[in-house]
Amino acid sequence: MILAKSCHDLDILRWMIGKPCTKVSSFGSLSFFNKGHAPEGSTMRCTGGCKVEATCPFSALKIYYRNRTWLTHMDLPLEEDQGPAILKHLEEGPYGRCVFHCDNDVVDHQITNFEFQGNITAAFSMEALTSYAGRRTRVMGTKGDVVGDENLLTVFDFSSRKATTWDASTALKVQSGHGGGDYGLLHDFIRAVSTKDAKVLTSTIQESMESHLMAFKAEESRHTKKTMEVRMG
């Protein structure tokens, strides 16, 4: 789950700290989205006459058909009414299955602790159910702390007791995925290739491979209940 949905978070940790990760410990399970918590009257699919579909916060009909969100997951016609095509996807494809009746074995919550070189520690929590979307980040330093939510970034100075807030929208020059990050990554990559200068890149493929290894080790730790060492090469 961390590799599939939270690999960016590990990339951010590795980039901010700037040192290799040495140890990982992790805990988590699939405790809610299972048949034991399926509401009475629920069906295998949201389109199968489910008695609680109208009030279920996880209704595929509400998310995809009525609200028309996250439709990029589906192959839909561009010019005509998409309603019938969406219903067909929900009736026959994976997105219409009840979240409580799936054969999913992926965790719905997981916490992971990392130790980096220099005795630097980081804690990461992956939660399925929150009142907000996106990331909440807190960096605790010796001279101050930083708190951010992908929109606002507030730096607090312990000495002056002053807080400075940076609004990401004021610096966003190009609209692209991942808060403008997609454009930035491609811009730097093309510039590095054209100038044949790898220093242009803010991160390397080796660091990305390390963050992937951190995710694999977190899953291994979750299964074995042991602290895992992270070693590249």
Q: What tens digit of pLDDT does each residue of 170-213 get?
A: 877 777 877 777 888 889 999 999 999 988 888 888 888 999 99
| Residue 86 confidence (pLDDT) | 95
pTM: 0.86
| φ, ψ of residue 124 in degrees (nearest 5) | -125, 130
Domains contained in the chain, CATH given: 2-29+105-229 (3.30.360.10), 35-96 (no CATH)
| Residue 185 confidence (pLDDT) | 85
Cα 127–Cα 17–Cα 186 angle in degrees, nearest 5: 80
Tell me how far apart the alpha carbons of residues 150 and 177 are, in angstroms, rounded to a whole number: 13
> What tens digit of pLDDT does each residue of 61-95 get?
999 999 999 898 888 888 778 999 999 999 999 99
Confidence of residue 228 (pLDDT cuts 50, 70, 90): very high
